Amino acid sequence: MGMGDWYLNAFPLSDKCSGDTTNVQAMANNIWFPFYMGDYLAKTSHLSQAEHGAYLCLLLYYYSNKRPISHNRRYSICRAFAEHEQAACDSVLAEYFTRDGDLWRSARADEELLKAQDISEKRAKAAKSRYKQEQSNCNANAEQMHPHSQSQLHLQNTDINPLTPQGEPTKAKRNDAGTSITTQFGDNPICPDEWANFASREFGWSQGRIESTFIRFVDYWRGCPGAKGRKSDWLATWRNWCRSNAERAPGSSGQAGGRVPDKTAAALGGLLAGRNAVRAEGGAFGRNEGVLPDLEV
């Protein structure tokens, strides 16, 4: 048997004639109930139009208020004022509900309400568990940051309007931690257009070189620990990186060469100068004139 799940807006069952405005707020807070078309059509194909209307009004009230139908209020709930409408209401109650003293109960509605309550309680329990876990994580992060925060607070307190022996106020120390490269770009960084345009305009780099340089730039700063890996102006850092890269590999359209340490560069310069001097005097340089000896830097 096919079935569908409709979510119907519950309307206030108040009536100007009867003055019945009970539980309007409760109905506004419960705006749906399960409506299985296959089951309904199979069991109500013989009902008249008035009986269909009465049945739906009774179901709406039952699910919205989460309680059985009061026998004394059955007509106001169904808006049954004419004699044939009241007859339709009584007919539906007798066929689909069970009389329990002054109440009319629906076994199917009671079953669905219990099911909905169980789901609601499980969701509330899961939400409470997630909240506790989030609070625990926040407390753990706060404890890890506590020593750093205390040291920063101490530095800030020592720099509040300090005076020199000459009575002149000193300059406040800059306390700008900056952001990391991961905070700036996330886990999948993409070179911004402004950055790429700078490299292309200033150095004539191709798109391939810009991308490879940017990847090396990100990898390098990701590997820098602590404050060294945080910058307050990453665009300025990128411009300086590109300038250094261009100076290390002038005229290169591919990847830039590795950076030569200052001590190594000085040693190589001295060896080359010495070799040229020896050649000028007609001597040999080292065991093999064409090979420079290994260097320890």
| Tens digit of each residue's pLDDT (9 = 90 or more) over 215-260 | 999 999 999 988 888 999 999 999 999 999 888 875 544 444 444 4
| Tens digit of each residue's pLDDT (9 = 90 or more) over 273-288 | 555 555 555 554 444 4
Burial class (CB in 10 A: 0-12, 13-18, 19+), 76: buried
- In this predicted structure, what is the pLDDT of residue 216? 92
- In this predicted structure, what is the pLDDT of residue 19? 46
Domains of the chain: 24-110 (1.10.10), 179-270 (no CATH)
- In this predicted structure, what is the pLDDT of residue 293? 44
Rounded CA-CA distance 256/259 in Å is 9
- Give Cβ neighbours of residue 255 (< 8 Å, ≥ 6 apart): 209, 212, 213, 249
Instruction: Look at 34 and 180; give whichever has higher pLDDT.
Output: 180
| Tens digit of each residue's pLDDT (9 = 90 or more) over 121-159 | 888 888 888 888 888 877 777 666 655 555 555 555 555
- In this predicted structure, what is the pLDDT of residue 261? 43
Lowest mean pLDDT among 9-18, 54-63, 92-101, 235-244: 9-18
